[in-house]
Structure 1
Amino acid sequence: MTQHSHVVVIGGGYAGVMAANRLTQRADVTVTVINPRPAFVPRLRLHQLVGGTHEAVVDYREVLAERVRLAVDSVTRIDRDGRGVELSDGSVLGYDYLVYAVGSVGAAPRVPGAEFTHPVATLEAARKLRSVLDDTPATAAVTVVGGGPTGIETAGELAQQGRRVTLACGGVLGPYLHPRARRTAVKRLTGLGVTVLDGPGTKVTSVTRDAVRLADGRELPSEVTVWTAGFGVPELAARSGLSTDSAGRLLTDETLTSVDDERIIAAGDSAAPSGLPFRMSAYAAGCLGAHAADTVLNRLADRPAEPVDLSFPAMCISLGRGMGIFQFAHKNDTAMRLYVGGRAGARLKEMSCAFSVKHLVKEARKPGSHHWPKGEHRRQVLRAEQDKAPAA
């Protein structure tokens, strides 16, 4: 009789759902996804939740394969010796293989007055911020801290509502963007009424109930301060005694297998293969979730697991509801001169958001169908890192 295997997936985001669905290729595998929320959160939509143009939730019945069991709970510790995960009520769920896909969270502000800031990185935080804004006059000053995609998109959404928004970048606006695309973003945000403050002097050094102070000494009125600067990862791996990088991501080899335990495979924002993690994104999370599942399936079939291979074709940013930027990228994840802006950019951005969920739905119905572009750049980077490393 064929031995049945139980795979536990911690995390029900893009990486976890993709991995769980792909694992159903084998009839002798049971899959359990553990997630603290009963609904899937397409995080690419959270800025829209803040702006009131999308609820940013999808029923798990739409994205999870029928054979996948969903456990609405939180994991407090991984017992790798006993091959089990401890849940919030103290019970233990055993596993044969574990997929670690806990995702990322917003970085906590490390400035005086952090308690007066509002994050956007989770469903609960975005809902709370939306409630705060609903109770705040439209004429109130709003400061968005952080010049990355989340900050740009949140500022655009709020400005399009007619709010008085200042975007304090703390450095370069949209550091990933090519300078040509960056100029387009500034022009569009300014057209919406956003005051864009960039450069090293725009780093926020403190926050009060009604103002923010910048590194260059300026003090800006701010009745609502939205914090989008930086991302971190949950501390579950470190708390469980597993090896992590300096940011807390699970250290793995190139097959996404934990350096401590071949039964633990990581995926998404919480994975650090060879200590060189991929850029945090929904696109990378889905691809890494699929690869993590393939690693498990290869092990179950007594086949060698393959090294991860992933290239980034583009990244996209919305600038309000009607405009956007679709930035094409080289395979090494650096921006090309080529980009699509305006309404066409917005349509491509919307397609990307929609397909991030449609890929999960397709994998649920046809496991093993997800494919992604690949390239040699990562192997070149790894070889360069090995050449730089001192001889043992």
Structure 2
Amino acid sequence: MNGNVEVVVVGGGYGGVTAANSLSRHDGVSVTLVNPRPDFVERIRLHQRVAGSDDAVVGFSEVLGGNVRVVVDAATRIDAAERTVSLAGGSALTYDYLVYAVGSGAFDPGVPGAAEFAHRVSDLEGADRLQSALAATPASAPVVVVGSGPTGLETAAELAEVGRRVTLVCGNVLGPSLHARVRRPVARRLARLGVTVIEGPRARVREVTRDGVQLHDGRELPSAVTIWTAGFRVPDLAARSGLRTDTQGRLVTDATLTSVDDVRIVATGDAAGMTDRPFRMSCQAAVQLGPAAAATILRRMAGRTPAPVRMFFAGQCLSLGRNEGVTQFSYPNDRVNALYISGRPGAGVKEIACRFTLNKLVSGARRASSRASQGAGTDRLDTPRPEHRTSNT
């Protein structure tokens, strides 16, 4: 490697942070991370932020190495030919390599009224708006949660445990990502919390109104606060920049996470769409993909051929309130099996998983900082005018 290599990481979620730390440990690499917020968001705890049991926010100074420069702004366009990233604040960054780590956000289902009247838990701003809406609503008022994936299950349980009257609209089946055997303890826990579960072929939402939810079978559910958790989609930065994306908005890559359009662009986290190795959008995938994206760049810098990504999954951990949870085990390829842990031990495993993930980021930051000179990073936070900030992650 000759000279210094500039790497820009767009997005400060799990994938972006782990990629930045992995890259910044190497001499001859300068890393700039662009993120619309000045803090790291523990997305896997956003349902707790809504209920008030955790703030789900950690300063970048704790999870990023001291030699990673942070620019608080939103990326608006990537010019692959010129190797530049335009920012909402009016400036631009040049790069030798770019890590595309914009994460995922709320998915517009196209259901009438959903975009206007339903709240989201997919990002910090959405969680805060939902928290404010709940604070302004009597505890006895009905709340409807749409979607029974991990986010929907955890949000419904968290709110029911603090006394909210919750109805969970599942669609065809409760917990579609779970093994049939594992759905049983989940259903029992929700029943004990007083959650009304609606599932079946016609348990789909036809329309969301200001004060209710209408189902395809004609039922009308009163709702003072409606929460939509079904589906996620990646921001359209890549598509707007002329890069190929899949149907969920992910950057299309090969097995090394390299964009099929440009070898200087590597994706990670929810924003990566490997054509021959699809994977579930999750924190569990992101913390593996971040270092893998960094390894691809480092191999190219050294004139070597990048290696295909290898993924390993252990299962899914769900908190069902603060006191109970379910851990669904899986095979390494992420196919679920019938093994699980439930009750208080299940909640304990989920909490351990959350703490382990954060500790892994902190540990990565310390290793990255070990090569930084004394005092590096004290002036590394570049913040434009707040009115220019939008969400990419």
TM-score tier after normalising by the smaller chain length: over 0.9
Letter in 2 for 1:345: G
Letter in 1 for 2:53: T
Alignment correspondent of 1:337: 338
Higher relative contact order (CA 8 A, sep 6+): 2
Runs of 4+ aligned structure 1 residues displaced above 4 Å come to none
The Cα shift of 1:276 comes to 4.1
Letter in 1 for 2:307: E
User: 5 Å matches for 1:309-328?
Assistant: 309-328=310-329
Q: CA separation in 2, counterparts of 1:252 and 1:243?
A: 9
Alignment correspondent of 2:62: 62
Q: CA separation in 1, counterparts of 2:128 and 2:211?
A: 21
Structure 1: 5+ residue stretches without partners: 369-392
1:354 aligns with 2:355: yes
Q: CA separation in 1, counterparts of 2:21 and 2:78?
A: 22
Q: CA separation in 2, counterparts of 1:168 and 1:43?
A: 22
The Cα shift of 1:275 comes to 5.3
* 1:271-317 C-alpha deviation (Å, 9 max, x unpaired): 11125431000010110011000001111111210000102111111
Q: CA separation in 2, counterparts of 1:273 and 1:9?
A: 19
Alignment correspondent of 1:249: 250
Relative to the length of structure 1, the TM-score reads: 0.92
Residue pair 1:140, 1:164 contacting (<8 A) in 2 also: yes
Alignment correspondent of 2:103: 103
* 1:110-150 C-alpha deviation (Å, 9 max, x unpaired): 11122111111010010110011011000000000001000
The Cα shift of 1:367 comes to 5.0
Letter in 1 for 2:72: V
Alignment correspondent of 1:376: none
Does the residue aligned with 1:166 lie in a helix, a strand or coil? Answer: strand
Does the residue aligned with 1:366 lie in a helix, a strand or coil? Answer: helix
Residue pair 2:255, 2:277 contacting (<8 A) in 1 also: no
Alignment correspondent of 1:278: 279
Q: CA separation in 2, counterparts of 1:346 and 1:77?
A: 42
User: 5 Å matches for 1:1-392?
Assistant: 2-114=2-114, 115-274=116-275, 276-367=277-368
Alignment correspondent of 2:373: none
Residue pair 2:66, 2:368 contacting (<8 A) in 1 also: no
Q: CA separation in 2, counterparts of 1:85 and 1:206?
A: 39
Residue pair 2:119, 2:226 contacting (<8 A) in 1 also: yes
The Cα shift of 1:196 comes to 0.7
The Cα shift of 1:164 comes to 0.6
* 1:49-106 C-alpha deviation (Å, 9 max, x unpaired): 1111111100110000000000000110000000010111332210000000000001
Does the residue aligned with 2:247 lie in a helix, a strand or coil? Answer: coil
The Cα shift of 1:366 comes to 2.4
Residue pair 2:67, 2:368 contacting (<8 A) in 1 also: no
Does the residue aligned with 1:185 lie in a helix, a strand or coil? Answer: helix
| Of 46-55 and 276-285, the range deviating more from structure 2 | 276-285
| Of 70-79 and 356-365, the range deviating more from structure 2 | 356-365
Residue pair 1:176, 1:334 contacting (<8 A) in 2 also: no
Does the residue aligned with 2:171 lie in a helix, a strand or coil? Answer: coil
Percent identical residues: 58
* 1:332-352 C-alpha deviation (Å, 9 max, x unpaired): 211111100010000000111
Q: CA separation in 2, counterparts of 1:113 and 1:276?
A: 35
The Cα shift of 1:330 comes to 0.9
Letter in 2 for 1:174: G
State the Cα RMSD in Å. Answer: 1.3
Relative to the length of structure 2, the TM-score reads: 0.92
Letter in 1 for 2:16: G
Letter in 2 for 1:232: R
Q: CA separation in 2, counterparts of 1:47 and 1:308?
A: 31
Letter in 2 for 1:206: E
Does the residue aligned with 1:9 lie in a helix, a strand or coil? Answer: strand
The Cα shift of 1:45 comes to 0.4
Distance 1:35 1:232, change over 3 A: same
Residue pair 1:252, 1:275 contacting (<8 A) in 2 also: no
The Cα shift of 1:2 comes to 3.9
Letter in 1 for 2:243: L
Does the residue aligned with 1:326 lie in a helix, a strand or coil? Answer: strand
The Cα shift of 1:179 comes to 1.3
Alignment correspondent of 1:382: none
Q: CA separation in 1, counterparts of 2:210 and 2:66?
A: 48
Q: CA separation in 1, counterparts of 2:275 and 2:232?
A: 20
Residue pair 2:255, 2:276 contacting (<8 A) in 1 also: no
Q: CA separation in 2, counterparts of 1:275 and 1:71?
A: 34
Residue pair 2:33, 2:69 contacting (<8 A) in 1 also: yes
Letter in 1 for 2:358: V
